[in-house]
Amino acid sequence: MAAPRNSLRGFLTHAKSALRSAISSNQKVTLVIGNESADLDSMTCQILYAYVRSMAPPKNAFTPLYLPVTNIPASGISMRPEFLAVFKHANIEPAHLITLDDLPALSEIQARLKPENTKWILVDHNALQGQLGKIYSSRVQGVIDHHDDEGRVPKNTGDEPRIIEKSGSCTSLITDYIRPTWDMLSGSALSSGAAHAQGDSMSDDDAVVKQWDASVAQLALASILIDTSNLQDKNKTTDHDRKAVEYLETKILLCPQLVTSFDRTAFYEAIDAAKKDIGPLKLQDILQKDYKEWDQDDGQKLGISSIVKPISFLKNKADEEASSSSPKAFLEQLQSFAKDHSLDLYSIMTTSTSQGGDFQRELLVWAFNDKAASWARSFAENSREELGLEDWDGDEDVASSEGHGQWRRVWWQRQVQHSRKRVAPLLRQAHS
């Protein structure tokens, strides 16, 4: 049975309760999960898809309820101030999210959440990574993503989509896919008085449904605007993004409470400012905040942290935490992070604005053994031209090092249009 038309807050509350019941009684579950960096795009993708799909599931759905899973522990939400900035517009709170903490512990997950009782839909990635990937990869039966296709999702996904296309934001692809269903649900709710049936205190059912739609639309819109710099980044923005923004803004402006007050630029700037407000975080949390990793076929492991501040900011943060000023404090923190994640090759990608107001990127690559050092050298040689790698003019002790089984370089990445979506495949392809 499809979930009743409800507010986003009501849906997430129901979904979290339903997951607990399913685990305790070995029932089937359909899980919609974003990538392990759990950025704003992944979080909104899984919620938007699960919310709309649950109210109009396919006729022969594995389960009628789709459960959105944020691919981090609950503690990770505090590292993402942009989440909190968006939540107030969507009328939800961190406690409403299903996180990894709501799944059984890894030591018992296969017994309590049997693979055959699960179906996984991937959004904002197309290969389930880590321990979840090792256990449940064979149960992946749907995907909507905007990264390079890794060929891990079956070509035939039945009633679920298999969409892997270029777009600035994956949320744009989700919006396009669920748009007909969402419009049908909104129209049906208005004509049937579903809002009033939910017991909402507002007497105007029309206004209630439009308010629900506007809350969800703002959640989705935030991701697209952040990923495309308010549609101004020509290297990222696609027609998918522009059409999705137009559609979502229409949903927002149909809401009586927002029609005269909503301003897209002000909305974007508030979310963007929150995303960049990482000063209060510890350096280890900053490295973890937008982090992804991949296991190579031979067991070597790559990790990449994307950070919205320059390396100079990170070094100053390390100095503050160590109560001293030296490259050693920064490098020790990076080495500790890589060790905790069992990495052979670790990369940091930064974004910032130059004194002249230009967008800029830095790229750090650090190999921790001879095999990884050969891998890193191959990447540097093969990707130098495409990425526009130029020698970095920062601290020499940070900029380069090799020997004793290690190799490290820092560059300016002058071809700034290439984000982790391109750098990660180049790093992985350089592995031999």
Residue-by-residue pLDDT tens, the chain, 432 positions: 677 889 999 999 999 999 999 999 999 999 999 999 999 999 999 999 999 999 999 999 999 999 999 999 999 999 999 999 999 999 999 999 999 999 999 899 999 999 999 999 999 999 999 899 999 999 999 999 999 999 999 999 999 999 999 999 999 999 999 999 999 998 876 555 444 444 444 446 788 999 999 999 999 999 999 999 999 999 999 999 999 999 999 999 999 999 999 999 999 999 999 999 999 999 999 999 999 999 988 889 999 999 999 999 999 999 999 987 887 999 999 999 999 999 999 999 999 999 898 999 999 999 999 999 999 999 999 999 999 999 999 999 999 999 888 999 999 999 999 999 999 999 999 986
All structural domains of the chain: 8-265 (3.90.1640.10), 283-429 (3.10.310.20)
Give the model's pLDDT for residue 199.
45
pLDDT at 202: 42
Q: Count CB neighbours of 418 within 10 A.
A: 19
Identify the pLDDT of residue 196.
Answer: 46
Q: How confident is the model at residue 205, as a pLDDT?
A: 74
Dihedral of CA 45/51/55/58: which sign?
positive
Residue 230 tokens read as 């308010």
In 174-300, beta strands by DSSP E: 291-295
Q: Identify the pLDDT of residue 137.
A: 96
Q: Single out the residue of 147, 88, 149 nearest to residue 304, CA to CA.
A: 147
Radius of gyration of the chain (CA): 22
Instruction: Summarize pLDDT for 343-390 with one digit per residue, the tens.
Output: 999 999 999 999 898 999 999 999 999 999 999 999 999 999 999 999
Helix, strand, coil abundance in the chain, percent, nearest 5: 50, 15, 35
Sheet of strand 98-99: strand arrangement = 98-99, 66-70, 29-33, 118-123, 140-145, 162-164
Supply the pLDDT for residue 182.
96
pLDDT tens column, 120-131: 999 999 999 989
Task: Tell me the residue type at 117.
Answer: N
